[in-house]
Amino acid sequence: MLSTKTIPASFAVGGVGGLSQAAFPGDIDPDIDDSENNGYARVQGRVINPPFSFGSGGVELVGKEMTQELQAQKQQAQDNPNTSVDLVAKGVSFGSISYDGVAFDFSNIEGIGVDLVIRPFGRTGCCATVREFDTGAMQFHHGIQPVEVVGPDNDADGDGVANELLEGELSAMHIFQVSLERPRQKNFASLTPEEQEGADTFEAIGCADCHVPMMYTNSKFLGLSLPEVMEDPSANEYFRINLRRRAPGFKKSGSGVEVPLFADLKLHDMGPGMTEETGNSLFTTGRLWGIADTAPYLHDGRALTLFEAISEHGGEAQPNADVFGALSEADRAALIAYLNTLKAPRSPNRGL
């Protein structure tokens, strides 16, 4: 990990997703304050290995539909006091919730915040949408203040410039990012015998419990909103993107699309070995699509190979890492061969 350093105030080391479970809580200024007025800020840096943006539209839609399911279950609990209601979205369990007629009991929820909003973006699950991530990233990494955050005609960072990023400009960024192609994978029927064996092993040792190979959406349309209401993803919709278009290119599934992200969009405790200098050990399940082309691995890039990445799993995933370590060399090689069939897009941005 990085130690405390002095760096230019507008260029902090690290990523938006690592600041907090919530996106930029009140005690953290995403555009680091030069409190000593000497041209740089003193911050505690952290190493973050950012994932790619390919397929973000499918991920955002899955997350929004899961949030809608969980909000409905919260309402069910409120309508039936003193009854425990299971929280399940697209087959993923988030524990249970109850309501005593006065307040909700959140003590049995797991892998999600008390707002019951799925936040797929950022390694620590900070953001529900790409737009939410972008508003923080523009401030934290670039020192650019979005008008929708700081207000119009407000020079919030004191650099002599107001209206640095307009709502329409941020909307254009959002539309571009969620329209990027999805990663690709080899058709199962064309897998080699070794790759097929690896796919079977992936399921058998429990990797697919968290790295869920496929999610299915109810709709083919991703709705974008302004302002965004995270608990109600359909509110204030201003634009819709057909995810079956050539880009992003998701395959049809009923009225919706297939999203082969290999993740459950849930927070998991990865144990002391992955605990950051901030004390955080909770991370969203890494999406494995495209993993053959995205070394190094894990949240901080510590693993140079897929073998190392699997072996580094701890906490909730320790039993799976132990089983992987006990496999024969041939079975481990087959599992790695299967993962290497998960590729990034071949011709990014063609047809976008």
> Is there a single domain that holds both residue 247 and residue 265?
no
> Is there a single domain that holds both residue 252 and residue 194?
no
Residues 6+ apart with CB under 8 A from 89: 65, 66, 67, 69, 70, 118
Position 142 in a domain: yes
> Is there a single domain that holds both residue 123 and residue 242?
yes
> Is there a single domain that holds both residue 55 and residue 69?
yes
> Is there a single domain that holds both residue 148 and residue 248?
yes
- pLDDT > 70? residue 19: no
Quickly state the pLDDT bin for 334 (edges 50, 70, 90). very high
Position 125 in a domain: yes
Residue with tokens 């069939």: 341
> Is there a single domain that holds both residue 201 and residue 316?
yes
> Is there a single domain that holds both residue 84 and residue 173?
yes
- pLDDT > 80? residue 44: no
**Cα–Cα distance for residue pair 18/298, rounded to 1 Å:** 13
**Cα–Cα distance for residue pair 212/111, rounded to 1 Å:** 15
Name the burial class of residue 232, with classes exposed (0-12), middle (13-18) and buried (19+) by CB atoms within 10 angstroms of its CB. Answer: middle
More confident residue, 41 or 157: 157
- pLDDT > 90? residue 1: no
More confident residue, 9 or 103: 103
**Cα–Cα distance for residue pair 345/115, rounded to 1 Å:** 34
Supply the range of the domain harboring residue 322: 184-214+260-343
Position 38 in a domain: no
> Is there a single domain that holds both residue 59 and residue 198?
no
What single letter denotes the amino acid at residue 103? Answer: A
pLDDT at residue 141, as a whole number? 87
Residues 6+ apart with CB under 8 A from 172: none
> Is there a single domain that holds both residue 199 and residue 269?
yes
> Is there a single domain that holds both residue 231 and residue 247?
yes
Region 107-123 average pLDDT: 97
Taking Cα atoms as reference points, which of 288, 287, 255 lies closest to residue 65? 255
Position 17 in a domain: no
- pLDDT > 90? residue 31: no
Q: How many domains does the chain have?
A: 2
Position 21 in a domain: no
